[in-house]
Amino acid sequence: MDIVIALTINGLIWGLIVALIALGLSIIFGLLDIINVAHGDFFMVGTVLGLVIAGTTGFWIALVLVPLLGFCLGLVIERLVIRPAISSASLTIVITFGLSMILQEAVRATLGPQPRRMAAPVEGTIHLFGIDYDVYRLFAALFAALAIAGFFLFLSRTTLGTWIRAVRHDRETATALGIPVTLVCAFTFALGTALALLGGVIAAPITTVDFRAGIDILPVCFMAVVIGGLGNLKGTVAAAVLLAVMEGVVSAFADPTMARISSLVVMSFVLLARPHGLFAGATR
């Protein structure tokens, strides 16, 4: 029984981090209508920058600096490669795939092909439900939860957030209302990128820092986004947490690969039967 509780908590923590990254994927999809295959690599870049910056200036500065760098990276990428190709929409997948190759190879060229580990900024373990638990994992969950809450507050309470919601809802009306749509798109892409990098720096101490990390996390994020309903932000968070907990618990009794396969099967059913997601009340 204890192992189940431990795995549930583990899943919950990982689910919150995935939710943070998947939120970035989801707003980019909802607003710019592009499937960002490089999103997993944004996360990976976050872990790498986290490792490097934390190594020189300490973790807490990295925690602030990395998402800011991510935001800038997002702005540059949006301007240079996304915006010129946005008119041939189905090809944006191909563009982001090219981007993914560049990011992975750039990291491999600088950091090397060996996976690395990063020391947790908070040492020590805590005794929970009969199991010793790394304190940092709880911190990671807290950071992710705070960031998610902050993101939703930003969307609902600020002018920029309102603009983003308006453009998501109806681009033409938003233009007519005088909202700077191009700017909002650029900002949203940068924000989505920043969320992925933030997820990276938070996760860096509890995962491996590896140029291939993006390849592994991308399908997980997509599952959350699809099962939550493409573009449905709250659904994305719920699905991410649910999936991670489910996979965590299932892997206690069965092969973890079977857990992954079963979530993919669930995802296919959702796509085919409820393309707006499990939690969709009204259609988009």
Contacts of 225 (CB under 8 A, 6+ apart): 22, 25, 26, 29, 236, 239
Interactions with another protein, residue window 2-61 (CB under 8 A) = 29, 33, 35, 37
Q: How far is the CB of 118 from another protein (least distance, A)?
A: 23
The pair of structure tokens assigned to 15 is 């689910």
Distances, alpha carbon 169 to alpha carbons 162, 245, 266, 284, in Å: 10, 31, 28, 9
One symbol per residue from 202 to 221: x for binding another protein (CB under 8 A), - otherwise; what is it? -------------x---x--
Interactions with another protein, residue window 265-284 (CB under 8 A) = 265, 267-268, 271-272, 275, 282
Among 52, 106, 120, 280, binds another protein (CB under 8 A): 106
Q: Which is nearer to another protein, 101 or 177 (CB)?
A: 101
Among 61, 68, 93, 153, binds another protein (CB under 8 A): 93
- Total residues binding another protein (CB under 8 A): 44
- Paired sense of beta strands 125-128 and 131-134, if any: antiparallel
The pair of structure tokens assigned to 213 is 């990390």
Alpha carbons 81 and 94: distance in angstroms, whole number:
11
| Residue 200 contacts residue 50 (beta carbons within 8 Å) | yes
Contact between 138 and another protein per CB under 8 A: no
Q: What is the sign, positive or negative, of the torsion defined by CA atoms of 9, 14, 15, 19?
A: positive
Q: Which is nearer to another protein, 122 or 261 (CB)?
A: 261
Interactions with another protein, residue window 150-189 (CB under 8 A) = none
Which residues would be at the binding site for another protein (CB under 8 A)? Answer: 29, 33, 35, 37, 81, 84-85, 87-91, 93-95, 97-102, 104-106, 108-109, 215, 219, 222, 226, 230, 255, 257-258, 260-261, 264-265, 267-268, 271-272, 275, 282
